[in-house]
Structure 1
Amino acid sequence: MGSLIETWVGTINGYLWGSVLVYLLSACGIWFTLRLKGLQFRHFGHMFGLLKGSRASSSEGISSFQALCTTVAARVGTGNLMGVAVAITLGGAGAVFWMWLIALLGMATAYAESTLGQLYKEKDEFGNFRGGPAYYMRKGLNSKFLAVGFSLCLFFGYGFVFSSVQANSITDAFNGSYGIEPLTTGIVITILAGLVIFGGLRNIARFAELAVPFMGVAYILVVSYVLLLNASALPDIFMQIVRSAIGLQEAGGGLVGAAIVHGVKRGLYSNEAGMGSAPNAAAAAVPFPNHPASQGYVQMFAVFFDTIVICSCTAFLILLADDTSAQGIQLTQQALVQQVGAWGSDFVTFAIMLFAFTSIVANYAYADNNLKYLGLDHKWGHLLLKVGFLAMLIFGSQASLGQVIALADMSTGLMTLFNVTALFLLSKVLIAISKNYHEQLKQGRLPQYQASEQEEQSFNLTKNIWR
C-alpha cells in the first residue's frame, strides 16, 4: 500500500512540477505582464520609492516593511544557496538567464496576488488585518471549495513539512561542518522557533524585520567583495550566461533545453510568485499609501530581491570558481573557499542556518493565517498548530524526509493550481484596482482607495474595510 501511494504521489508530482506548473506559472507571469502593460518595468523606480514610507504600522496591522521582510524570509531559504548550485550543475550557466527571466515575469504575478490579498482582507476578533488567497477565493469568487482546498494544502505544506525540511538542512550543515548531533541542533532550533512563533504574527514580523536585512546585507557584502576581486572576469561570465542560454556557447547547443528547464524551475521555486504564500503576510500589512496596489508593489520587490539579487550572488560566485566536482551546497561552499579561504565554508554554513530559520518562522505565519477556512481558528486550533509545527522540527532534524517531501510537493502544487486559477478569474478586479491607483498617480496625488458602496457589493469586499 505504501509503495502504491508513493508511486501515485511521484506520478502526480512528475506531471505537476515537471510540466503543468512550469507552463502555468510562466503563462501567469506573461498574462499579468501584458494585462498590466509591463508594470514591473514601467514603474520599477516607483517600487523602490514606496519602500521609503513602508515602516508605518498601526494597531490594525504590521508595517509594509515587516510584511516584506516576512515574505522575503520565506522566499530566501536554502534554495538560494543550494538550489542555484543544482540548477547550474544540471543546466549550465544558461540556467541563470532563464532564472532571471522567469523572476522578471513573476514580479507581475506577485503584484497581482498581493494586491488582491490586500483588497479582500478583513479584521479578526482582535481587530488585526488578515487575508490571502483563501479570502479572495471565498469573497471574490464566492468559492468555498477553492478556499478550503487551498487552506488545506497550505496548512500541510507550510504548517508542517517545509519547515521540517529546513530544519533538516540546518542540522545536516552543522553535523557535516562541526560534527554536532542532529538531535541537539534540532532541539535548539525548536526552542528558538517556539520563542518567536508563540508571540504571534507581530512577533514574527518584528523578528523578520531584524533578521532579514542582516542576513541579506551580510551575504551581499561578502559576495560583493568577491566580485570586486574578480571585476575583470565579470563581463565574460555575463556573456557566458547569455551565450549558454541561447545556444551560442561552444559545444553548448544541446544544453539549451536543460538551461531553460532548470533555470525556470529554480526561479519559480525560489521566488514563490503565484504559489499563494506571500499574500498571507501582505494582507496583514497597513499599506502606504493606503491602497491595495501599494502592497502589490512592495511584494513585487520581494521577488526582485530574492532572485535577481540573492540568487544572482550565488550564481556569480559559483561561475567564478575553478572546475570542481562538488555538487549542491558543497559547490557553493567550495566556490567561496577558493575566493576567501577556509572561513568561507563556515560563512555558508551559518548563512544556511539563518536563511532556513527565517523561512521556518515565516512558514508558520502562513499556516496560522489559514486556520479560519479549516474550522480551526480558535484557541485549541492555534495550539494544535504550534505543537505540531514544533514537533515536526524535531522530527525533521533527524529523519529521512523523502516521502514526506513528496507529499508536501504535491500539496504545494495543488495549492498553486488553486491560486493561479483564482488569479486568472479575478483579472478584471485586479485591472480595475490598478487603474484606480495609476490614475491617481498621473494626477500627482498620493493614491488612496475609497471603496464606494457599489464597489463593496460588486467586488464583495469586507464592509467598510476600505472606507
Structure 2
Amino acid sequence: MLEVINDFLSGKVLIVLIVGLGSYFTIRSRFVQLRHFFHMFAVFRDSLKGSAGQLSSFQALMLSLAGRVGAGNIAGVGIAVTLGGPGAVFWMWVTALVGMSSSFFECTLAQVYKRADGDGLYRGGPAYYIQHGLKLKGMAVVFSILLLVTYGFAFIGLQSYTVTHSLQNAFAFDPQHTGIVLAVLLAITFIGGIKRIASVSDLLVPIKTLAYIGVTLYVIGTQIEHVPAMLETIFKSAFGLDPAFGGLLGSAIVMGVKRGVFANEAGLGSAPNVAAVAAVKHPGAQGVVQAFSVFLDTFVICTCTALLILLSGFYTPGFEGDGIVLTQNSLAAVVGDWGRMFVSVALSLFVFTCILYNYYLGENSLQFLTRNRAALMTFRGLVLALVVWGSMQDLSTVFAFADITMTCLAFVNLMALALLFKVGMRVMRDYDEQRRAGISQPVFDSSKFADLDLDPQAWPANPPAAANPEAQPQGVPATQR
C-alpha cells in the first residue's frame, strides 16, 4: 500500500508539480538560471570570502552539496539508467535545468526571511518564509514537523543502513561496529553545532566530489572516442528514436525526471534551510549560488556516473540489479576490482555528509518549533541511537513512508513558492538592476522592501556600500561613499 501511494504521489503528482512550476518560474524570470550562468562562477568565487564569526556563502554551498551530492548520484543514476535506458539521462538534465530556477527562488526567499538566532548566526527556510511571508503559522508548523520526521529521523536511519552494509560488502566490516564508529564521529561533529558541521562539510564535500569526478573522468577519458556516439544515443533514446531502447521511452521520461528531482532536491524545500545560514550582501547572490549547486549535482556529477555506466561496456539493456552494483561493476570493468572498493568508500563519504545535512535540517526544524535546550539534546541522542539501530535493520518500509512525507513536504513548499513568487521576482529584479548598473556584488537595501516582515538584525536599514566604487554616485568624496 505504501508503495502504491508513494508511486502515485512522488512518481506522478510531484513530478508534474515540480517540472510544471519550475518551467513557469523559468519563463517568468526570463530564464534566470541561463542569464546568470556565467555569473554563477563569479559569485562562487566571491562566496569563498566570509565574515568573522559568520558562515560564508561557500560554507552554505558545501553544506547544501553535502545533501544534494549523495547516494542518488551513484545509486539513483544507476536505477534511472537500468529502468529507463540512456534516455533517462537527458530527462535528468531537463529536470535540473528547470530545477535551477526553483532553487534560485526558494533559496532567495530563505535569505529574505531569515532570522538572526542570537549567536551571530542565522536560521531560515520554508517554515520561516511561510510564517513571515504568508503569515500562516500553522502551515509553517506542519512543514517543520514533516521536515523533522523525514530528514531528521527516517532518512538518517536509512543512510546508516546503506553505508554500513556497503562497507560490509566491500571490506567485510561488521555493520554494528561500523554503526557505533559512525555514531561516535557524528556525535563529535554535532557537539560543535552548525559551525563544526559546516567545517566538516568544507573538508569532506570537495574531497569526495573531486575524487569521484576525477575517477569517472579517467574512465570517460579512456573511452573518449565513444563519447560522441554515446551522447547521440542518449538524445535519441530520450525521444524513442534508438531502436535498442525504443520501448523504454515512457520509462526514460518518468525515471529521468523522478531521479533528477530526488538527486538535486530543487523545489523540495530542503536546501533553503542551509541556504539561509550564509551571511551575504544580497539574497539573490545565494539564489545564484544554490542554482549553481543544482548544476554541479546533476549536469556534472550525475552525468559522470551515467557516462561511467554507459561507456564501461558492462551495462546492457535489461540489466537486472540495484544501482550501486551497476556503478561498482561498471567501474571495475575498466579499472579492476579496486573500483568496487572505491565506489563503497565514495558512497560512505557521500552518506556521511548526507547524514550531517539531514541532521541539520532536523535541528533547524526543531529550533523553529522550540528553542528548548533539552529538546535539542534529546534529538541528538535519538539521532545517534537511530544511526546504530539503523546499521542493523533493513529500513525499506520506513524509507517508503519517508518518501510519502517528503512528497507532502514538497507540496507545502511548492504552494508557498507559488504564493510568494511575486516577492521573489521583486528581489530578483533588484539584483538584476544593480548588476546592470555595473555593481558586481549587489547590496540588499531593506528600506525598499519595508512592506515585508524582515529581520532588522539580518537586513539592516542602512546596508554597507556596494562592491565597486565606480558604480557609486559621482561627486561624492571617496571617504563618504
Find the residue that maps to 1:398 and give its secondary structure: coil
Superposed counterparts of 1:103-142, under 5 Å: 103-142=96-135
- Say whether the 8 Å CA contact 2:114–2:455 is kept in structure 1: yes
3-state SS of the aligned residue for 1:381?
helix
Q: What is the 5 A alignment of 1:353-392? A: 353-375=348-370, 377-392=371-386
Q: Which whole-Å CA distance do the structure 1 matches of 2:312 and 2:442 have between them?
A: 48
- 8 Å CA contact 1:59–1:128 kept in 2: the answer is no
State the 1:60 CA deviation.
5.7
Tell me if the contact between 2:314 and 2:330 (Cα under 8 Å) persists in the aligned partners.
no
Corresponding position of 1:351: 346
Query: 1:63, CA displacement in angstroms?
Result: 0.6
- TM-superposed CA distance for 1:59, in Å, is 4.9
User: Deviation of residue 252 (structure 1)?
Assistant: 2.9
Q: Does 1:413 align with 2:404?
A: no
Return the letter of the residue paired with 1:45: F
Q: Which residue of 1 aligns with 2:90?
A: 97
Separation of aligned partners in 1, 2:458 and 2:266? 26
Contact 1:70 1:281 in 2 (8 A): yes
Question: For 2:58 and 2:128, how far apart are their aligned partners in 1?
Answer: 22
The correspondence for 2:420, drawn from 416, 426, 450, is: 426
Secondary structure of the residue aligned to 1:285 is coil
Matched, 1:229 2:222: yes
Q: Which stretch shifts more, 112-121 or 51-60? A: 51-60
Q: Offset at 1:149?
A: 0.7
State the distance in 1 between where 2:45 and 2:172 align: 44
**2-structure distance, mates of 1:57, 1:198:** 22
2:282 aligned partner? 291
Is the Cα contact below 8 Å between 2:314 and 2:329 reproduced in 1? Answer: no
Q: Give the drift of 1:61.
A: 2.9
Candidates 143, 147, 167, aligned match of 1:150: 143
SS at match of 2:243: coil
How many angstroms does 1:338 deviate by?
Answer: 1.0
Change (3 A) 1:423 1:238: same
Correspondent of 1:63 among 56, 69, 89: 56
- TM-fit CA distance, 1:10: 3.9
Are 2:116 and 2:457, in contact at CA under 8 Å, matched by a contact in 1?
no
C-alpha distance in 2 between matches for 1:77 and 1:205: 16
Q: Which amino acid aligns with 1:386?
A: R
Question: Tell me, what secondary structure is at the counterpart of 2:446?
Answer: coil
Q: Which residue of 1 aligns with 2:324?
A: 329
* Alignment counterpart, residue 319 of structure 1, candidates 286, 291, 310: 310
Deviation at 1:341, TM superposition (A): 1.1
Instruction: Name the structure 1 match of 2:190.
Output: 197
* Partner in structure 2 of residue 449 of structure 1: 444
Return the letter of the residue paired with 2:443: Q
Distance 1:27 1:60 in 2: 40
CA contact (8 A) 1:29 1:108 kept: yes
| Contact residue 122 and residue 131 of structure 1 kept, 8 A | yes
Tell me how far apart the structure 2 counterparts of residues 229 and 253 of structure 1 sit (CA, whole Å): 28
AA aligned opposite 2:339: G
Moved more, 329-338 or 404-413: 404-413
For the residues of structure 1 that align with 2:143 and 2:35, how far apart are their CA atoms? 32
Residue type at the aligned position of 2:243:
E
> Partners in 2 of 1:122 and 1:412 — Cα distance?
24
- 2:109–2:129 CA contact under 8 A, matched in 1: yes
Work out whether 1:439 is the aligned partner of 2:433: yes
Aligned to 2:470: none
Cα distance in structure 2, aligned partners of 1:84 and 1:113: 25
Q: Given the alignment of the two structures, is residue 88 of structure 1 paired with residue 81 of structure 2, yes or no?
A: yes
Structure 2 counterpart of 1:362, which letter? Answer: Y
User: Structure 1 residue 401: deviation in Å?
Assistant: 0.6
Matched, 1:275 2:268: yes
1:112·1:296 contact (CA, 8 Å) conserved in 2? yes
Structure 2 counterpart of 1:165, from 137, 158, 164: 158
| 8 Å CA contact 2:314, 2:333 repeated in 1 | no
1:323 Cα deviation from its structure 2 partner: 4.1
Structure 1 residues 60 and 420, CA gap change in structure 2 (3 angstroms): farther
Distance 1:58 1:164 in 2: 35
1:344-380 per-residue CA deviation (whole Å, 9 max, x = no partner) reads 11111100100110100111111111223323x2211
For residue 27 of structure 1, the aligned residue among 20, 35, 38 is 20
Q: Which amino acid aligns with 1:349?
A: S
**Normalising by the residue count of structure 1, what TM-score does the alignment of the two structures yield?**
0.95
Larger deviation, residues 299-308 vs 11-20: 11-20
Query: 2:208 and 2:176 mapped to 1: Cα distance?
Result: 25
2:148 match: secondary structure: helix
Does structure 2 retain, via aligned residues, the 8 Å contact 1:56–1:286? no
1 CA distance for matches of 2:19 and 2:395?
Answer: 29
Contact 1:60 1:129 in 2 (8 A): no
Give the RMSD, CA atoms, in angstroms. Answer: 1.3
Matched, 1:306 2:263: no
Contact 1:60 1:286 in 2 (8 A): no
Q: Which residue of 2 aligns with 1:4?
A: none
Contact 2:114 2:123 in 1 (8 A): yes
TM-score (norm 2): 0.92
Letter in 1 for 2:368: Y
Q: Match of 1:14?
A: 7
Secondary structure of the residue that 2:444 maps to in structure 1?
A: coil
CA contact (8 A) 2:158 2:396 kept: no
What percent of counterpart residues are identical?
43
* Alignment partner of 1:403 out of 397, 410, 416: 397
Distance in 1 separating the partners of 2:35 and 2:117: 36
Could you say what secondary structure the match of 2:173 adopts?
A: coil
